[in-house]
Amino acid sequence: MTSSGYAAVFFDAGETLVHPHPTFPDLFRERGHVVFDRFRAAAEANELWTTSPERSRRFWHDVYGIFLRELGIRDANGLIDVVYAEFTDLGNYRLFDDVTPVLDRLRDAGLLLGVVSNFEEWLERLLEDLGVRGYFQVSVVSGVEGFEKPDPRIFRLAMTRAGVTPERSVYVGDNPEFDVDPAHAVGMFPVLIDRRERFADAPGARITAMDQLPALLGVA
């Protein structure tokens, strides 16, 4: 247990632990609203875009189509299909460099680690390929479970599987609406990881790199 009394740390996946390589979010640096607005619309409509390959393909085709239209690029040559294929290829993902050392420190401090993510069912295979699946004793992936953040059930299921209470649970994610707010609502301690410094004015605990997390949690 840390000096703050936390027993478990749960992580989002995309833009928290892993990223596409070459990184697609760099293309969104000035148009991040495309992804966030589409996520919000999906949540409001209970679209559940991760729960089948067909839904995932339709969702991301929509995102890429909007993005390309904003850039004035037409899909005459099937560009959306090309982009989708690239970003569903496990070989095109990487861990952020600061992830493994921090996972080591947290695990060595006796913290239980878990993943709670809106991601397709292949996330666990990706984490295995990247060499970090063994760090996580609990995995709750929307594409497997059938519900997505910000639904509170996804956080509660993770805590149930881990056998921990909300007040002893930390959740780390990159999106205020889908990570911070719902984790806080169920009683967890949310930490916003703002790697691209998009939310400088966000309230609450905020870090800009994963290596800032141990000190925040009182891990020596």
pLDDT digits 0-9 by tens, 77-88: 577 776 666 666
pTM of the full structure: 0.78
Nearest of 2, 208, 209 to residue 105 by alpha carbon? 2
pLDDT digits 0-9 by tens, 94-111: 999 999 999 999 999 999
pLDDT, position 206: 98
pLDDT band per the 50, 70, 90 thresholds, residue 1: very low
Does domain 8-19+93-216 fall under CATH 2.60.40.790? My reply is no
Q: Looking at the DSSP assignment, which residues form a beta bridge with residue 172?
A: 11, 191
**Contact partners, residue 76, CB within 8 Å, separation at least 6:** none
Is it the case that residue 57 has pLDDT exceeding 90? no
The domain spans of the chain are 8-19+93-216, 24-91
Is it the case that residue 166 has pLDDT exceeding 80? yes
d(CA 214, CA 220): 7
